[in-house]
Amino acid sequence: MNIGQAAQVSGVNAKMIRYYESIGLVPESRRTESGYRTYSDTDLHLLRFIRQARRLGFGIEQIRQLLALWQDHERASADVKALAQAHIDELNQRIAELSAMRDTLTHLAAHCHGDARPECPILDGLSCDEESVDPPVERHC
């Protein structure tokens, strides 16, 4: 099948397929005599694996490691679990950071009157250095 069909079936758009080939995440596709890329069922399975890993937030290098483990039938599942656990730890850290951002912005928005006055706690909070905004404080910088 051609790249358009492969994109439709795998859920990975053609531009990303070409990118994954260019960085060596997937092998270069076979080409017809006229130069068109062709993809097999094995290629589609690989692209679906990558799509699912991306949906779970894995980065390119992590996916490269997962692919190597997936293709190594002698691997230990402990190696796969360790990689997944490291990603979970990263996600938990990002969640904590996003929660802190939300809490700070919620605090600033709650203290803004949202009227015609020029005073704005949100802008005041944004102009403060990091330490005086996180955790939120009720003072001007």
- So where are the chain's domains? 1-57
pLDDT band at 140 (very low <50, low <70, confident <90, very high): very low
Note the pLDDT of residue 131. 55
Q: pLDDT digit string (tens) for 41-65?
A: 999 999 999 999 999 999 999 999 9
Q: Where are the alpha helices (DSSP H) in the chain?
A: 3-10, 14-22, 41-55, 60-71, 77-110, 121-127, 130-133
Note the pLDDT of residue 135. 52
Asked whether the predicted pLDDT for residue 20 surpasses 90, the reply is: yes
CATH architecture assigned to 1-57: Orthogonal Bundle (1.10)
User: In whole angstroms, what separates CA 28 from the centre of its chain?
Assistant: 24
